[in-house]
Amino acid sequence: MRRSAAALLCLIAALVLPTAAQSQSRQVRFVITAIGDSTIEFQTRAAKWIRPGQLGVAVDPRRRDELIARFRVESVREGSATAVITGQTTAVSAEHVAVLDEPRRSAYRSPAFWIGLFVGGALGFIGGMASR
């Protein structure tokens, strides 16, 4: 009985836990649409998570993502964002892309969290009742 419960628990854990591919980089690329003396503007598409104050980098995709500049998002409008360049190694051009890290969702907002909570609670309850 205990072996089957342990095997079932291991199987559930293997199915519910995230794979390595899901926990890799959460960097998102955006097309740079306008370049000023010390600012850039980039398309945000449907990314609702971009906020003023976020830090990002501009990279050159043709040179294996060579760092071009660092920036801080100043304002976000529907479909675009404006950022101030805080440091650069080369002049930014329209061929470069802006890269921002997408924030992680809270664990309790994930369905896997709630599934694990209820399955773990049920297995704990069943295990406790079986040991009586």
**Structural domains of the chain sorted by starting position, each given as residue range(s) with its CATH number in brackets:** 24-103 (2.40.10.340)
Give the pLDDT of residue 129. Answer: 85
Q: How far apart are the first and last CA of the chain?
A: 13
Residue that the structure tokens 């709630």 belong to? 114
Tens place of pLDDT per residue across the chain (132 aa)? 677 777 666 666 666 665 545 456 789 999 999 999 999 999 998 899 999 999 999 999 999 999 999 999 999 998 999 999 999 999 999 999 999 999 877 777 778 888 988 899 989 889 888 887
Instruction: Show the tokens assigned to 131.
Output: 């040991």
CA 120 from chain centre, in angstroms, equals 27
Output the pTM of the full model.
0.65
What local confidence, expressed as pLDDT, does residue 16 receive? 62
